[in-house]
Structure 1
Amino acid sequence: MDTHICSGRGSNGLGTQSDYGFAFDDSNFSDRVLMIEVVPDLPELKTEEEGLSLVVDWARKRKRRREEINRRGNDADVVVQRDEQVVNCTALEMEDGLADDEWEEEAVVMLEESPSGIVMTTNLFGDDEESENDDSSTDMDSSNPLRVRTLHISSPILAAKSRFFYKLFSNGMKESEQRNITIQIHASEEAALMDLLNFMYSNTFSATTPTAVLDVMMVADKFEVASCMKYCSHLLRNLRMTTESALLYLDLPFNILVADEVQPLTDAAKQFLAQRFKDITKFQEDVLSLPLSGIEAVLSSDNLQIASEDAVFDFVLKWARMHYPKLEERREVWSSHLLHLIRFPCMTCRKLKKVMMCNDFDPKLASKLVFEALFYKAEAPYRQRSIAAEAGNALYHGYVERAYKYRPIKALEFETPRQQCVIYLDLKRDECASLFPAGRVYSQAFHLGGQGFFLSAHCNMDHQSAFHCFGLFLGMQEKGSVSFAVDYEFAARISPGEEYVSKYKGDYTFTSGKAVGYRNLFGVAWTPFLSEDSLFFINGILHLRAELRVRV
Structure 2
Amino acid sequence: MSPCFHSLLGTEENAFMELLRFMYNGRLTPTTESTLLVDILMAADKFDVVSCIKLCGQRLIGLPMTLESAVRCLDLPCSISMAADLSEAAKKFLAKRYKKFLSTKFQDELMRIPLAGIVAILSRNLPGVASEKSVYDFVLRWADLQYPNSEQRREILSSSLLPMVPLRRSMTNVILIDQPSCIINFSLKREHCFGSFPSGSMRSPPFYCAGHGFFLSAHRRMEPSNSFVLIIQKLEDKGLVRGTVDYDIEVKTTPSLEFTTLWRRTTTTGCTQGFGCSVPWSEVIPDDSPFFIDDKLHIRVHVKITPQP
The alignment's TM-score, normalised by the length of structure 2, stands at 0.50
Q: Computing the radius of gyration over CA atoms, which structure comes out larger, 1 or 2?
A: 1
